[in-house]
Structure 1
Amino acid sequence: MQRGYFFSAEGGEGAGKSSIVSRLSEYLDSRGLEIITSREPGGIAIAEQIRSVILDKENTEMDGRTEALLYAAARRQHYVEKIVPTLNEGKSIICDRFIDSSLAYQGHARGLGIDKVLSINEFAIEDVFPDLTIYLDIDPEVGLRRINENADREINRLDLESLAFHRKVREGYLELVRRFPARIVKINANQKMDEVFEDVKQVFDRFLVSMGKLS
């Protein structure tokens, strides 16, 4: 049985990752891939419990290294319990956030160092990275405004960080795009959602052609 494909969607707050993942799942299913969606932190029971601690708005005193280690712990459990079995069954998975979030948020924005946080997470995921990552690049001011205008969206501890913090997150992601150009593709997420999705579809169509799944 052929191993499935592992995809991830990344971006700052308000970039529209969840909406894109949902639409992308339907699109890839129409292209013949059996798709499972998930999210980080979370995706399975233990990781969801860790998520509740990390994102609790009351936990404002959480140390940056504690935060990084909790993310890595949740990622490890999600990896072994959901990602690996899904891929081994020949199904493909799209994850709303994965390792790059830790590298951008804790590694760069928290100032812990991208390489240090990468080392922690390489241990957690056994050096297995997504086959393709889309980075939804959005101006922090635009993303935070979208959050404030969406009454249905969950507001978590990271949403309450300063604009300067979110600008550093974006800097971190742009550094990752430079470091991993073969894996991470930047998409302009300041556009309307339909326009963003059209760009995402083109990226995945090229990937599927390269894998012999589309002609």
Structure 2
Amino acid sequence: MEQKIADIDRQHFISFEGIDYSGKTTQINLLQAFLQKKGYSVYVLREPGGTVISEKIRDILLDRNHHEMSERAEIFLYSAARVQLVSEKIIPLLKEGYFIIADRYVDSTTAYQGYGRGLDLEMVKQINSAATFGLMPSITFYMEITPEQAQQRRLESGAGADRLEGAGIDFYQRVFNGYKELIRKEPDRFRVINAMQSVNSIHKKIIDLLEDHL
């Protein structure tokens, strides 16, 4: 059954984007706590994931043993996880009046699979539209950090690299450039945040920008 999104208020649907180790999750948790104190019902979702089916797809996508996965298989798996998330969680929760915070959304697919993997951008656009029923966030916070800075943070954390994180610095430079192009094309939706500032400074900036938006 096709989802109807014409009557959905997107004002309370926001997303966070950025390359890995940009600090998205920390800021999402802080924003969730802030909004809950304001009296909002808040639901945080991550991509890929957020539902039982989507989390199983996530495990497949990030498993380093799946090095033979083709670029097209990758984008369709991400999109399968997304369409399940949008259908099962995002649309129903927005209709119930929840404030939705998405840790990644379609911009990640465009940046990583389109620009990073080199897939045809028009094809990526069509797949993204089909997977989301055309539903987009009203505002997207882009946590800006260079690939070199992100790599340094990962090394300092001692964390191992998943399949995507192990793609190499050249891949992440293409992703970084892809995000820049997305921001250039949609300046009204994106808010660029210097992710190398202190956690508190970033949180304050996000709150200020969100309050202006609302």
Aligned residues of 1:11 and 1:137 also touching (Cα < 8 A): yes
RMSD over equivalenced CA pairs, Å: 1.6
The number of equivalent residue pairs is 207
Find the aligned partners of 2:18 and 2:8 in 1 and give their Cα distance: 30
Report the Cα offset of residue 114 of structure 1: 2.7
CA distance in 1, matches of 2:42, 2:116: 32
Matched-pair contact (CA < 8 Å) for 1:3–1:89: no
Partners of 2:144 and 2:115 in 1: how far apart? Answer: 16
Match of 2:89, SS?
A: helix
The equivalent residue for 1:30 is 37
What one-letter code is carried by the residue in structure 1 that aligns with 2:180?
L
The amino acid across from 1:86 in the alignment is L
TM-score of the two chains, using structure 2 as the length reference: 0.92
Specify the alignment match of 1:79 in structure 2.
86
Q: Secondary structure at the residue paired with 1:145?
A: helix
Say which SS state the counterpart of residue 22 (structure 2) adopts. Answer: coil
Describe the shift of the 1:114–1:190 C-alpha distance in structure 2 as closer, same or farther (beyond 3 A): farther
Corresponding residue for 2:176? Answer: 170
The SS at the match of 1:157 is coil
Q: Tell me by how many angstroms 1:161 deviates.
A: 1.3
**When the two structures are superposed, what TM-score results if normalisation uses the length of structure 1?**
0.91
- Structure 2 SS opposite 1:166: helix
Matches of 1:138 and 1:194, distance apart in 2: 17
Structure 1 unaligned segments of length 5 or more: list them. Answer: 209-215
3-state SS of 2:15 partner: strand
Cα drift, residue 154 of structure 1? 6.5
Kindly provide the amino acid, as one letter, of the partner of residue 110 in structure 1.
R
CA contact (8 A) 1:3 1:91 kept: no
Whether 1:7 and 2:14 are equivalent positions in the alignment is: yes
Are the equivalent residues in 2 in contact too, given 1:104–1:114 (CA < 8 A)?
no
Q: Which AA in structure 2 matches 1:104?
A: A
Measured in 2, the distance between the counterparts of 1:167 and 1:92 equals 32
Identity level (%): 38
1:97-151, CA deviations, whole angstroms, 9 ceiling, x for partnerless residues?
0000000000111111333211101011111101111110101111111122224
Equivalent of 2:165, from 142, 153, 159?
A: 159
Does 2:49 correspond to 1:49?
no
Q: Does 1:185 align with 2:200?
A: no
Give me the whole-angstrom Cα distance separating, in 2, the residues matched to 1:127 and 1:137: 26
Q: Are 1:40 and 2:22 matched, yes or no? A: no
Q: 2:142 aligns with which of 124, 127, 135?
A: 135
- Residue segments in structure 2 that go unaligned for 5+ positions in a row: 1-6
